[in-house]
Every structure is written in C-alpha cells, then in structure tokens.
C-alpha cells in the first residue's frame, strides 16, 4: 500500500468545515453568533452555566481538531458533538431571541430541509 502524506493544516481547517457543514448552515451561523455573544460576555465576566457549557463544547472541539488525530471524515467521527451544538443553539434561541424564537425554529428547520435536499440532489448520495 502506498503511504499518502496528509498535510496537517489542510485537515485542521477542512475537518472544522466538514463538521460545521454536517451540522447545517443555520446551526453553524447560530453557533458563530452565539460565540460572538459569549466572547463579549467574557470581557464583562458575566457568564452563566449554559454559556460555560457552550464554551466547553467549543474548546473540546478545537482541542480534538488541533491534535490532528482525525484527518478526514471528521463529521462522522465527531458525531457525538452534534447534540452539544444543538442544545447550545436551542438555549441561545430560547433565551436571547425570545420574541422571534418560534419563527426562528421553523426557519432553521426549513433551511435544514432545503440543505438536505440540495445535498441529496447535487452530491448523488444514496440512503
């Protein structure tokens, strides 16, 4: 068997892209927005438990990623992180976006459905 070199930095970035694409575009956007909110709260030292939970999820994900042990197919290997991202997003929607929370949940579900259909159509996946 041939031994193909796998560049470290290519997979550090690629694994995160793979994970967040697998998570879904709207949940990735919510995760990024929530991370910005938490970063601002960290300056004031006003974190609450769900914020600490979210930060522990992000830090664990980054530590796993920076070790370089997984190079490729990270979304499937890191599947156990998905519920942590969804729980964090749900907390963010219900507590920070209270007035629009029902509309945002339906919008996220609709965008995830569209993303699933587009991936199914354009990438020729088989179920």
Per-residue pLDDT at 106 exceeds 80:
yes
Quote the number of domains for the chain. Answer: 1
Q: Would you state the pLDDT for residue 47?
A: 67
Q: Would you state the pLDDT for residue 90?
A: 85
2 part of a folded domain: no
Q: Tens digits of per-residue pLDDT, 46-100?
A: 767 777 788 888 888 888 888 877 777 777 888 888 888 888 888 888 887 777 8
**Burial track 24-44 (b if 16+ CB lie within 10 A, e otherwise):** bebbbebbeebeeebeeeeee
Give phi and psi for 71, each to the nearest 5: -125, 95
Q: Would you state the pLDDT for residue 113?
A: 92
For the range 75-80, what are the long-range contacts, defined as Cβ-Cβ under 8 Å and sequence gap of 24 or more?
A: 75/18, 75/19, 75/21, 75/22, 75/23, 76/22, 78/19
3 part of a folded domain: no
Host domain of residue 56: 8-122
Q: Would you state the pLDDT for residue 101?
A: 79
Q: What is the pTM of this model?
A: 0.75
């Amino acid at each position: 068997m041939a031994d193909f070199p796998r560049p470290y930095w290519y997979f550090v970035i690629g694994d995160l892209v793979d994970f967040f694409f697998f998570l879904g575009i709207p949940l990735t956007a919510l995760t990024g927005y929530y991370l910005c909110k938490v970063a601002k709260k960290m300056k004031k030292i006003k974190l609450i438990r769900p914020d600490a939970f979210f930060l522990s999820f992000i830090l664990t994900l980054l530590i796993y990623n920076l070790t370089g042990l997984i190079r490729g197919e990270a979304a499937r290997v890191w599947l156990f992180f998905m519920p942590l991202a969804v729980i964090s997003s749900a907390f963010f929607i219900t507590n920070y976006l209270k007035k629009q929370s029902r509309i945002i949940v339906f919008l996220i579900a609709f965008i995830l459905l569209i993303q699933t259909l587009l991936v199914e159509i354009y990438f020729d996946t088989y179920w």
